[in-house]
Structure 1
Amino acid sequence: MSIADCLCAVEPAGALSRFRRGYYACLYRRADAPFELTDAVLCADGPVRSLVELALEPEFRRGHGALYDAVNTGWVEISRLRALLATTPVPKDGEGRIVLAVDVTSWLRPDADTSPERRFCHVSGYGANTGQNVPGRPYSFVAAVEPGRTSWTTVLDAVRVRPGDDLTELTADQIREVHARLTRSGHLDQDDPELLVVLDSGYDATRLAWLLADLPVELVARVRSDRVYYDDPGEPAYRPKGGRPARHGRRLTLADPATWREADLRTRNDTRRYGAATAAGWDRMHQQLQRRGPWAGQHPASETPQPADRWTWLVIAAYTQLRLARPLAEDARRPWERPKPARKLSPTRVRRRFRHIRPGMPSPAEVRKPTTPGPGRPTGRRNTTRAPRPDVGQHHRHGADHDRTALSNPSRRG
């Protein structure tokens, strides 16, 4: 029996207890404070808008200084935590296929002038042409999605997109590593359907498919409405005056229906919310690849701000405990909310009950030891050390304006 089958056979309380013990084992330095900080995030009433206010939660038995030390100087073994996440139950669709969704979420920090390793993140506005680029830290997340309409996902990986990073190469490495971890944990077998990866229109799906050609995965990417594709030019034709054979056939512009040829596949389905939905597909179409940009270059290395990465993984560990506690929670609805069965509880309602579930779970963190605060800076002496102010997107890969554009915006011709 595989590891995944063994875990699925364990009752929900046992799965949550196992994850809490494994998560504590991933904390190598100042383990007690990060563990209690994660519980404080889960048991706090409402959104977490201030980090220091988590020190007021009863689940965090230490002072606010220990809270900042947990984020700034703690040590979370991310590789071990990634392997632990892969052993948790992973949802599958009706065909037994695992569906992964990949997307980028930006942690905007426009006023953090002294914070290094920021890059420009594209933020869309509500009106036309209202998007803007704001300094921040973008993170690429990989999560397994559940079938049907639900707010739950299974987060399996998160990587910070550094200045100068190629998002397509980074995404390909993420998918490859997640596939390997799911295979080692027993969620994927040779007889299982291929892994399905869903992407938004901001990704270069053509190049990503080329990078993952040796991996048994299927890519489904949303296509921008202004994309241009070409037919296969066929056999090279004889040219009396010589010249290079044509590389591209007939042009197909998605925004111009007059350029569409007869579709090779056409389907029509009736939906409950949007009425009739039709889809057309054309086989053996390709994009015109440019001999510059991401198709030619090298991948530079750079340092990462550890506190931001550490806090991101603490939140991922908190959300995973929330997902595992889903079968144990009762409906704690507000008087104006509709009742829901236990299997359809939202993450918000499960979080309301986590404070009552937590006492029955193991808590490896030790009780706080009595300490004496340090002397601090002498009275009357000011801090004369000026913090550096690094430039935003200072590491460039494809030209001086590479990080001043959207995070992932491949050209319309690929």
Structure 2
Amino acid sequence: MLAVDVSNWLRPDAVTSPGRLFCHTYGRGKGQAQMIPGWPYSFVAALEPGRTSWTQVLDAVRLGPADDATAVTADQLRQLIDRLIRVGHWRPGDPDILIVCDTGYDTARLAWVLSDLPVLLVGRIRSDRVLRFPKPARQPGAIGRPRKHGPEFACNDPATWPTPQHTTLTPTSRYGTAQADSWDQLHPRLTRRTCWIDHDGDLPIIAGTLIRLQVEHLPGERDPKPVWLWCSAIGATAADVDRWWQTFLRRFDLEHTFRLFKQTLGWTRPKIRTTEAADRWTWLIIAAYTQLRLARPLAADLRRPWERPAPPERLTSARVRRGFRNIRATSALPAGVPKPGRPGPGRPPGSTNRRPAPRHDVGKTVKRAPSITAHKEREG
């Protein structure tokens, strides 16, 4: 099980740092979303079963001003899955690799681009999305252009919902009873004015399974809203639907990893100017986190007075980080002791900087054509 998500390294005051984009961040109040300049990084991590705050970060790529986020994520997943197959973590006959993502990803496009790989995508969609059923059979003697799409399915209009193929009720310890309804053979209606403007031939029909997940209660919410999921597989059973939405809930474990990166390991602490240094520091943080993950069975529980005791296999990443210093004292050190060094002299006091660093604009550098005609003229 793999999860993809984007975490932002905010750099609002770094006017001399290139490659910054406007990153979407949430404020403290409701509806206080902001766009702050920074470096967005796309992470791919392996998920563990059960309730845990641990993940295994496998890859990280920085999104640049000229990059398409979906295309970069597709290439990132393709290279990663090729490496997993090459080292034998997936063999022919094994179940497909399950990839979960949140609302910001175009799940249908990822499923189309990665259709030649043994993957299965489950993504969250907006609650106001409109999908289509397969086209009905053409009646004898009908005239006119054949239909390409069937009736509409509006997520916010229950009148358009037919009877679901599967309905399951699963008792949970935190959310009460979780009800999952699923509908088969639903696809989004694609248009040329989006990322499919360069597609040759007719636009494809990317059919999948739509899932509506409703729970009884959530922490801090009296009337929780349903969660809509779309899976790239069709002909699913009730057991498949339950496995998909439960795997999607495991995607939120990656949020704990991002919090540890920023608050404990200091991922966004350095004031780095160049993007190359930021990429190297990001991989150093991933390597340090991997060491903590491998040290889980060796760390002792140095808990705070207000924390509950936990067995060694249930220690969180912060507790393992707290006891890592005791592991280092008793473990073998293959590297030598670092030699002390002196900092460079730097610029003499009182002298002016005669070579000021260049300043860079924030935002995308590739603009999309306003129409199909303008796009063809630009390409021609």
Please tell me the TM-score bracket, short chain as reference.
0.7 to 0.9
Any idea what the Cα deviations from partners look like across 1:163-182, whole Å, max 9, x if unmatched?
A: 13111111212222221222
Any idea what the Cα deviations from partners look like across 1:241-267, whole Å, max 9, x if unmatched?
A: x64322221111001111111212222
Which of 114, 130, 134 aligns to 1:228? It is 130
Q: CA deviation at 1:371?
A: 5.5
The answer to whether the aligner puts 1:217 opposite 2:119 as a matched pair is yes
The answer to whether the aligner puts 1:181 opposite 2:90 as a matched pair is no
Q: Which amino acid aligns with 1:321?
A: Q
Partner secondary structure for residue 363 of structure 1: coil
The answer to whether the aligner puts 1:333 opposite 2:303 as a matched pair is yes
CA pair 370-329 structure 1, distance change in 2 beyond 3 A: closer
Q: CA deviation at 1:373?
A: 5.4
The answer to whether the aligner puts 1:281 opposite 2:182 as a matched pair is yes
Q: Root-mean-square deviation (CA), in Å?
A: 2.2
Which position in structure 1 is the counterpart of 2:13?
Answer: 111
CA pair 127-230 structure 1, distance change in 2 beyond 3 A: farther
Aligned-pair identity in percent equals 56
Which position in structure 2 is the counterpart of 1:139?
Answer: 41
Q: CA deviation at 1:117?
A: 0.3
Which position in structure 1 is the counterpart of 2:290?
Answer: 320
The answer to whether the aligner puts 1:157 opposite 2:59 as a matched pair is yes
Any idea what the Cα deviations from partners look like across 1:280-300, whole Å, max 9, x if unmatched?
A: 1111111111102222359xx
CA distance in 2, matches of 1:124, 1:286: 31
Q: Which amino acid aligns with 1:150?
A: T
CA contact (8 A) 1:164 1:393 kept: no
Q: Which amino acid aligns with 1:210?
A: W
Which position in structure 2 is the counterpart of 1:79?
Answer: none
CA pair 374-312 structure 1, distance change in 2 beyond 3 A: closer
Partner secondary structure for residue 325 of structure 2: helix
Structure 2 gaps of 5+ residues are 200-273, 371-380
Give 1:7-406 correspondences, 5 Å limit.
99-236=1-138, 243-297=144-198, 305-369=275-339, 374-398=344-368
**Residue correspondences, number:** 296
Q: Which amino acid aligns with 2:168?
A: T
CA distance in 2, matches of 1:373, 1:263: 68
Partner secondary structure for residue 389 of structure 1: coil
Moved more, 151-160 or 169-178: 169-178
Any idea what the Cα deviations from partners look like across 1:370-411, whole Å, max 9, x if unmatched?
A: 6565543344321122222111024124259xxxxxxxxxxx
Moved more, 365-374 or 108-117: 365-374
Q: Which amino acid aligns with 2:73?
A: T
Partner secondary structure for residue 120 of structure 1: strand
CA contact (8 A) 1:237 1:245 kept: no
Q: CA deviation at 1:128?
A: 4.1
Compare the two structures and name the one with the higher strand fraction.
2
CA contact (8 A) 1:293 1:398 kept: no
CA pair 372-225 structure 1, distance change in 2 beyond 3 A: closer
Q: Which structure exhibits the higher relative contact order, with contacts defined as CA atoms closer than 8 Å and separated by 6 or more residues?
A: 1
CA contact (8 A) 1:119 1:163 kept: yes
TM-score norm. by structure 1 comes to 0.67
CA pair 376-297 structure 1, distance change in 2 beyond 3 A: same
TM-score norm. by structure 2 comes to 0.73
Q: Which amino acid aligns with 1:158?
A: A
CA distance in 2, matches of 1:379, 1:206: 58
CA distance in 1, matches of 2:20, 2:129: 30
Structure 1 gaps of 5+ residues are 1-98, 299-303, 401-414
CA pair 373-264 structure 1, distance change in 2 beyond 3 A: closer
Partner secondary structure for residue 186 of structure 1: coil
Q: CA deviation at 1:336?
A: 2.0
